[in-house]
Structure 1
């Protein structure tokens, strides 16, 4: 992400072409926080994503498509959206950002191993290369060969609006089918909730740290309803892999839901909470918190899920054994 931001600033890019194997809500939030919300107003952007194996979150695609001056297409989208498990006939696996300054003619490219997720853009150990063409010969030798390939793929790609509704519906069904929903057998060792879209309660330039939970979620933390006239239900002590333990409030909200305040994500190794699954493991009088991408959650916890439920907004929560 730092290289994308650096190149954009160096060449004052007003055109952006991003090609990524998959996208997550955490990737969208990381990108927007890094480039600033004015990126959408000042930059014409095109986005080419894959939906292979259902890894791409349609909510992230919708967020990008709803921004100004953007166009989103899906590689082989019509075919993949119809396949069982979204199995592709040809994997789409690039991680490329290309930028232009239409006035000066400057062009650059960031090629790397990181996908359009928080981990891929900012947290994980990734490798890549940044090239800024200083002349036409530089462009012809180092950028044009890559650019031409993705321009051809762009022309044959499927517009997002053609498949997003069917993809979203079928992907939800696929995820639900993976749930090992059952009555608890054995001792419950923890519980979890999908964060979904996290409001920017700390301002437009910072990741949010509050989510809404269903009424009664407080019971997982061993809390009871607050006293009459007070919205404060109680306090929760969080432990994380990074940073000191912190104590946060848990409150009732006026929409018949409960508001959970979490540790500052950037101070505890999470970067952003958007689109991730929050995992809570009781530990003495505190709760060990982990925030991981949905795909990783299914791999690690999928066989341990119990009592999975769904909120009216579609977010899931439950326990694991």
Structure 2
């Protein structure tokens, strides 16, 4: 089968299309023929070496497809089922194995492309809005990268919960997408400091939560956007890692909270995976949650997909199609 592997860390050029054996499922695993796999910033962190991985390494942690074989102890899925999963390495490939307890069934009304586009970013948006900081009706929230995959979904979920949503974007095209997702206020971060804009919009009060996937270039201003007792939710670092931070500053800025969550901890127990996946896939199936997935690349063009993602040339979800 074909797979995208890296034999060294570095830029997109280290990604290579190679032939590897089709993996065999263990007793508690399933073999899936992948129909679509998601491209996410976490993949670039592994490629760069920011997150360590054994080499050679097959990238990708999110996909959807059809079950081709199941292990001897698997009872939750069967051959022919359409399933989706995330958080299991090795999805930039034509086939992959995954633990059966990490697989969720895809509703009949959804394609594998929709399911692959929804799992990681959709469940990330879900835990951000429903658990890390529980959004309540009337809250004003700040969402960075408002036209990105998580940003668009998080905006929609925040609106479902009754929030007033402020987003940051870089272009008018992205602003239009963010507004279409429900953003009430859109800030062009390249035209004015977003901290100034947030303070103006909130009449100096600030916001109770900032959802920040950018990291290094936004962290300091994001803290200054928070009201006393506010929470800084740093769930990504597309601009680089945040430098070391003296925690005493949190008390000086209003007894603030900072958290660095990751999806795997919010879907660890099976019941939480089922809850989040059922909500996300169900809302999409009902038409209540809109996906944007106009950027699809052949598996062989994974390097180009990474360049587009890192160059902020994409909006919504980026997919690879084996």
Normalising by structure 1, what TM-score?
Answer: 0.29
Normalising by structure 2, what TM-score?
Answer: 0.29
